[in-house]
Structure 1
Amino acid sequence: MDQAKKQEFEALIAYEIEKTQKIIEDFKQISQPVAPDNAIGRVSRMDAINNKAVADAGLRQAEDKLKKLNYALSKIDSEEFGICRRCGGDIPLGRLALMPQSLFCVKCAK
Protein backbone atom coordinates (compact mmCIF):
# COMPACT_ATOMS: atom_id res chain seq x y z
CA MET A 1 0.00 0.00 0.00
CA ASP A 2 1.44 3.38 -0.98
CA GLN A 3 1.98 6.26 1.44
CA ALA A 4 -0.92 8.35 0.08
CA LYS A 5 -3.38 5.49 0.71
CA LYS A 6 -1.99 4.99 4.21
CA GLN A 7 -2.52 8.69 4.96
CA GLU A 8 -6.07 8.42 3.66
CA PHE A 9 -6.74 5.44 5.92
CA GLU A 10 -5.06 7.19 8.84
CA ALA A 11 -7.51 10.10 8.47
CA LEU A 12 -10.42 7.64 8.14
CA ILE A 13 -9.37 5.78 11.28
CA ALA A 14 -8.98 9.05 13.22
CA TYR A 15 -12.50 10.06 12.14
CA GLU A 16 -13.91 6.66 13.16
CA ILE A 17 -12.17 6.92 16.55
CA GLU A 18 -13.71 10.33 17.17
CA LYS A 19 -17.16 9.11 16.10
CA THR A 20 -16.88 5.97 18.25
CA GLN A 21 -15.81 7.98 21.30
CA LYS A 22 -18.96 10.10 20.95
CA ILE A 23 -21.07 6.95 20.66
CA ILE A 24 -19.45 5.57 23.81
CA GLU A 25 -20.28 8.75 25.71
CA ASP A 26 -23.90 8.51 24.53
CA PHE A 27 -24.14 4.87 25.62
CA LYS A 28 -22.65 5.75 29.02
CA GLN A 29 -25.39 8.33 29.50
CA ILE A 30 -28.12 5.89 28.46
CA SER A 31 -26.83 2.99 30.55
CA GLN A 32 -27.04 4.71 33.92
CA PRO A 33 -28.36 2.42 36.67
CA VAL A 34 -32.11 2.30 37.17
CA ALA A 35 -32.85 3.50 40.70
CA PRO A 36 -34.91 0.96 42.69
CA ASP A 37 -36.82 3.68 44.53
CA ASN A 38 -37.97 5.30 41.30
CA ALA A 39 -41.78 5.01 41.27
CA ILE A 40 -42.25 4.46 37.52
CA GLY A 41 -44.41 1.37 37.74
CA ARG A 42 -43.52 -2.27 37.36
CA VAL A 43 -43.89 -2.51 33.57
CA SER A 44 -42.06 0.77 32.97
CA ARG A 45 -39.29 -0.31 35.34
CA MET A 46 -38.84 -3.63 33.50
CA ASP A 47 -38.73 -1.71 30.21
CA ALA A 48 -36.08 0.64 31.65
CA ILE A 49 -34.00 -2.34 32.82
CA ASN A 50 -34.30 -3.95 29.39
CA ASN A 51 -33.25 -0.71 27.68
CA LYS A 52 -30.25 -0.47 30.00
CA ALA A 53 -29.18 -4.01 29.05
CA VAL A 54 -29.38 -3.13 25.36
CA ALA A 55 -27.37 0.06 25.97
CA ASP A 56 -24.76 -1.90 27.95
CA ALA A 57 -24.32 -4.33 25.04
CA GLY A 58 -23.94 -1.42 22.63
CA LEU A 59 -21.39 0.17 24.95
CA ARG A 60 -19.31 -3.02 25.05
CA GLN A 61 -19.36 -3.29 21.25
CA ALA A 62 -18.37 0.36 20.82
CA GLU A 63 -15.52 0.00 23.33
CA ASP A 64 -14.29 -3.11 21.50
CA LYS A 65 -14.41 -1.23 18.18
CA LEU A 66 -12.48 1.68 19.70
CA LYS A 67 -9.79 -0.70 20.96
CA LYS A 68 -9.45 -2.25 17.49
CA LEU A 69 -9.37 1.17 15.80
CA ASN A 70 -6.59 2.35 18.12
CA TYR A 71 -4.66 -0.83 17.34
CA ALA A 72 -5.14 -0.29 13.60
CA LEU A 73 -3.94 3.30 13.94
CA SER A 74 -0.83 2.12 15.78
CA LYS A 75 -0.07 -0.32 12.93
CA ILE A 76 -0.79 2.03 10.01
CA ASP A 77 2.90 2.67 9.31
CA SER A 78 3.93 -0.96 9.64
CA GLU A 79 3.85 -3.49 6.85
CA GLU A 80 1.22 -5.47 8.82
CA PHE A 81 -1.52 -2.93 8.03
CA GLY A 82 -3.85 -4.22 5.33
CA ILE A 83 -2.49 -7.76 5.54
CA CYS A 84 -4.73 -10.62 6.69
CA ARG A 85 -3.60 -12.15 9.97
CA ARG A 86 -4.70 -15.65 8.96
CA CYS A 87 -3.70 -16.14 5.30
CA GLY A 88 -1.20 -13.30 4.82
CA GLY A 89 -3.01 -11.94 1.76
CA ASP A 90 -4.06 -8.37 1.17
CA ILE A 91 -7.27 -7.16 2.81
CA PRO A 92 -9.32 -5.51 0.03
CA LEU A 93 -9.26 -1.71 0.18
CA GLY A 94 -13.06 -1.62 0.10
CA ARG A 95 -13.19 -3.69 3.28
CA LEU A 96 -10.63 -1.44 4.95
CA ALA A 97 -12.64 1.62 3.89
CA LEU A 98 -15.78 0.22 5.55
CA MET A 99 -14.07 -1.45 8.51
CA PRO A 100 -10.59 0.04 9.00
CA GLN A 101 -10.16 -2.09 12.13
CA SER A 102 -10.33 -5.30 10.06
CA LEU A 103 -7.57 -7.80 10.79
CA PHE A 104 -8.78 -10.47 8.34
CA CYS A 105 -9.73 -10.60 4.67
CA VAL A 106 -13.33 -11.40 3.80
CA LYS A 107 -12.64 -15.10 3.24
CA CYS A 108 -10.80 -15.59 6.54
CA ALA A 109 -13.30 -13.50 8.54
CA LYS A 110 -16.06 -16.05 7.87
Structure 2
Amino acid sequence: MTSQEKKKIKEKIESDIATLLKQIKTLEEKAEPITPDCSLGRLTRLEAMGEQHVNNKILDESRLRLTRLKNALLRIDKPMFGICIECEEEIGFGRLSIRPESVRCVECANAQS
Protein backbone atom coordinates (compact mmCIF):
# COMPACT_ATOMS: atom_id res chain seq x y z
CA MET A 1 0.00 0.00 0.00
CA THR A 2 1.38 3.37 -0.96
CA SER A 3 1.74 6.26 1.45
CA GLN A 4 -0.85 8.21 -0.57
CA GLU A 5 -3.37 5.35 -0.14
CA LYS A 6 -2.64 5.21 3.60
CA LYS A 7 -3.19 8.96 3.81
CA LYS A 8 -6.61 8.62 2.12
CA ILE A 9 -7.57 5.78 4.45
CA LYS A 10 -6.45 7.79 7.49
CA GLU A 11 -8.61 10.72 6.36
CA LYS A 12 -11.55 8.32 5.89
CA ILE A 13 -11.05 6.90 9.39
CA GLU A 14 -10.95 10.36 10.95
CA SER A 15 -14.05 11.40 9.00
CA ASP A 16 -15.93 8.23 10.02
CA ILE A 17 -14.97 8.74 13.68
CA ALA A 18 -16.31 12.31 13.64
CA THR A 19 -19.56 11.14 12.02
CA LEU A 20 -19.98 8.28 14.49
CA LEU A 21 -19.40 10.54 17.48
CA LYS A 22 -22.27 12.79 16.31
CA GLN A 23 -24.48 9.77 15.59
CA ILE A 24 -23.76 8.24 19.01
CA LYS A 25 -24.65 11.48 20.78
CA THR A 26 -27.99 11.63 18.95
CA LEU A 27 -28.73 7.95 19.60
CA GLU A 28 -27.94 8.29 23.30
CA GLU A 29 -30.60 10.99 23.54
CA LYS A 30 -33.14 8.82 21.67
CA ALA A 31 -32.33 5.73 23.74
CA GLU A 32 -33.15 7.27 27.09
CA PRO A 33 -35.65 5.23 29.13
CA ILE A 34 -39.34 5.97 28.67
CA THR A 35 -40.81 7.00 31.99
CA PRO A 36 -43.95 5.16 33.16
CA ASP A 37 -45.71 8.43 33.92
CA CYS A 38 -45.26 9.61 30.34
CA SER A 39 -48.67 10.51 28.88
CA LEU A 40 -48.63 8.22 25.87
CA GLY A 41 -51.36 5.84 24.82
CA ARG A 42 -50.71 2.11 25.18
CA LEU A 43 -49.92 1.53 21.49
CA THR A 44 -47.86 4.68 21.20
CA ARG A 45 -45.94 3.60 24.30
CA LEU A 46 -45.26 0.17 22.76
CA GLU A 47 -44.13 1.82 19.52
CA ALA A 48 -41.81 4.13 21.47
CA MET A 49 -40.36 1.14 23.33
CA GLY A 50 -39.83 -0.70 20.04
CA GLU A 51 -38.11 2.34 18.57
CA GLN A 52 -35.98 2.62 21.70
CA HIS A 53 -34.89 -1.02 21.29
CA VAL A 54 -33.87 -0.36 17.67
CA ASN A 55 -31.97 2.77 18.71
CA ASN A 56 -30.14 0.82 21.43
CA LYS A 57 -29.09 -1.82 18.90
CA ILE A 58 -27.79 0.83 16.47
CA LEU A 59 -26.06 2.59 19.37
CA ASP A 60 -24.25 -0.63 20.37
CA GLU A 61 -23.14 -1.25 16.78
CA SER A 62 -21.99 2.36 16.40
CA ARG A 63 -19.91 2.16 19.58
CA LEU A 64 -18.33 -1.10 18.41
CA ARG A 65 -17.44 0.39 15.02
CA LEU A 66 -16.04 3.50 16.73
CA THR A 67 -13.72 1.29 18.80
CA ARG A 68 -12.61 -0.58 15.68
CA LEU A 69 -11.95 2.66 13.82
CA LYS A 70 -9.89 4.04 16.70
CA ASN A 71 -7.88 0.82 16.74
CA ALA A 72 -7.35 1.08 12.98
CA LEU A 73 -6.10 4.64 13.43
CA LEU A 74 -3.55 3.37 15.96
CA ARG A 75 -2.42 0.60 13.57
CA ILE A 76 -2.31 2.58 10.33
CA ASP A 77 1.40 3.41 10.52
CA LYS A 78 2.43 -0.13 11.42
CA PRO A 79 3.71 -2.49 8.70
CA MET A 80 0.92 -5.04 9.29
CA PHE A 81 -1.86 -2.52 8.57
CA GLY A 82 -3.81 -3.66 5.52
CA ILE A 83 -2.67 -7.28 5.87
CA CYS A 84 -5.34 -9.95 6.42
CA ILE A 85 -5.07 -11.61 9.84
CA GLU A 86 -6.16 -14.94 8.35
CA CYS A 87 -4.27 -15.46 5.08
CA GLU A 88 -1.68 -12.67 5.53
CA GLU A 89 -2.38 -11.32 2.04
CA GLU A 90 -2.89 -7.62 1.40
CA ILE A 91 -6.42 -6.34 1.93
CA GLY A 92 -7.58 -4.51 -1.18
CA PHE A 93 -7.50 -0.71 -1.18
CA GLY A 94 -11.16 -0.68 -2.28
CA ARG A 95 -12.24 -2.64 0.79
CA LEU A 96 -10.17 -0.45 3.12
CA SER A 97 -11.60 2.67 1.46
CA ILE A 98 -15.09 1.54 2.41
CA ARG A 99 -14.40 -0.25 5.72
CA PRO A 100 -11.01 1.01 6.93
CA GLU A 101 -11.35 -0.99 10.14
CA SER A 102 -11.25 -4.27 8.19
CA VAL A 103 -8.73 -6.82 9.40
CA ARG A 104 -9.69 -9.55 6.91
CA CYS A 105 -9.69 -9.62 3.12
CA VAL A 106 -12.99 -10.19 1.32
CA GLU A 107 -12.35 -13.91 0.81
CA CYS A 108 -11.51 -14.59 4.47
CA ALA A 109 -14.37 -12.39 5.69
CA ASN A 110 -16.82 -14.32 3.48
CA ALA A 111 -15.42 -17.66 4.65
CA GLN A 112 -15.90 -16.63 8.27
CA SER A 113 -19.60 -15.74 7.81
Unaligned runs of 5+ in 2: none
Whether the aligned pair in 1 keeps the contact of 2:5 and 2:93 (CA below 8 Å) is: no
Deviations 1:22-59 (A, max 9, x none): 11111111111101111201111110100000000000
**1:91 is matched by which residue type in structure 2?**
I
Identify the residue that residue 22 of structure 2 maps to in structure 1: 22
State the shift of 1:80 in Å.
1.4
- Is the aligned partner of 1:3 residue 2:36? no
* Partner of residue 97, structure 2: 97
Partner of 2:76: 76
**Which ranges in structure 1 are unaligned for 5 or more consecutive residues?**
none
Quote how far apart the aligned CAs of 1:93 are.
Answer: 0.6
* Secondary structure of residue in 1 paired with 2:101: coil
Give distance in 1, aligned partners of 2:40 and 2:8: 50
1:52-109 CA distances to partner (integer Å, 9 max, x unpaired)?
A: 0000000000000000000000000001111101110111110000101111000111
TM-score (norm 2): 0.94
Q: Distance in 2 between matches of 1:107 and 1:5?
A: 21
Counterparts of 1:4 and 1:46, CA distance in 2: 51
Identity %: 33
SS in structure 2 at match of 1:84: coil
Q: Which amino acid is the alignment partner of residue 94 of structure 1?
A: G
Cα distance in 2 for partners of 1:96, 1:3 equals 14
2:59 match:
59
